[in-house]
Structure 1
Amino acid sequence: MTRHLNPHIEKIINDTPYLPLAFQSILTTDTYFAANEDIIDCLCFEREGFDIKSNFIVKHDNWQPTILMLATHKGVTILVEGGSKISDVLFGYRLTHIPYAHIISIELDVCMLNGRLVISTGEGTEKHAVIQFNTAKYYQECERFMGTLRKKIFGEA
C-alpha cells in the first residue's frame, strides 16, 4: 500500500540525488509505520564528501552520511545511513524512533555556518539525537521542522 505523500516528502524524493533506496522505500510505503501513523513533516540532510567514479564510491575525509528525520503523529523517526555496527561502504542504515512523550527538550543551535539540532530524552545533559548541519544549506528546513516538533510536543495549534 502506498501512502499519500505530502509536499515535503515529494520534494526530498525528487530533489535529493543519491537518496538511499531504503530511505525511499520507508518514505513511500506503510511497512515501517503503524496503520494510523502518518508522516507530517520530514527533513533530509544529503550525503556529502563523496564522488561516484565508474560506479564506485570514493569517500573523502569529511564524509557525512544521509540523515532523514521524520515527524509522525506518534513521534520522531531518525534514519542515519551507515551505523555504529555497519561499514559506511555497505550503506546500511540505523533507524531510531522517539515517541513525543519521551522528549524532554528540543534545541536548535545556530552559530555562523555550524548548526546543531538536538533532541533530549533524559535528565540533565543526556542527548538522544544530535544532528550537525551546514546552516547555509539547511537553516530554513531546520526551523520549519523544529516548528512541527514544537507543535506536536507542546500541543500548540
Structure 2
Amino acid sequence: MANEKEALIRLKSRAEGIKFAKVIFAALALSSCAATPIKSDGALTPSTLNVARSEHHGQRVKVFGWMTSSFERYGIWDSKAAFDRGNYTDDCVSLLIPEAMDTSKYDKRYVELEGDFVQRPGKNAVNLGACNKTTIILSEESPPTLVK
C-alpha cells in the first residue's frame, strides 16, 4: 500500500511538472508575439487601406507597417509575417518615394509614415518594384519614422 501511495504521489508530481512546462511554453510563445511594435492611434494598416481603397483614395493617410525599400521592393506590409506569406494584393501598399529621399535605413523595419493614398498611380506613372497598384506617395518633407 505504501508503494502505491508513493507511485501516486510521483504521478501527481509528474503531471504538475507537465502543466508547469505547458504554462512556460505558452508564456514564451506569447512573449515572442510582443516583438511586433504596436501602431499608434489613428494609423492604418496596409490591409485596411486595400479593403477600403475607394474610401481613402486621394487622402493623406498615416500608415503603420513593415517597410521594404530595396531594388524592386518598395512597399509597406501589415507585418514581416505578411511579407513572408507574400499576399501582395491584400497585405501590401506600394510606395512612391521621391528620388532625393534615402529610405535604405527603413528597409525591413517597422515604420509609421504619412503620404497621399491613391488606388492606382496616374496613367503615365511607372512604379518599378511596386507590390500592388494601391500606392502611397511620400513627400520629402515627411520621411518615415522608425517604430521600436
TM-score range, shorter chain: under 0.3
TM-score by length of 2: 0.27
Q: Which structure would you say has the larger Rg?
A: 2
More helix, by proportion = 2
TM-score (norm 1): 0.26
Structure whose residues are more often strand by fraction? 1
Q: Flag the structure with more relative contact order, 1 or 2, with Cα contacts below 8 A and sequence separation at least 6.
A: 2
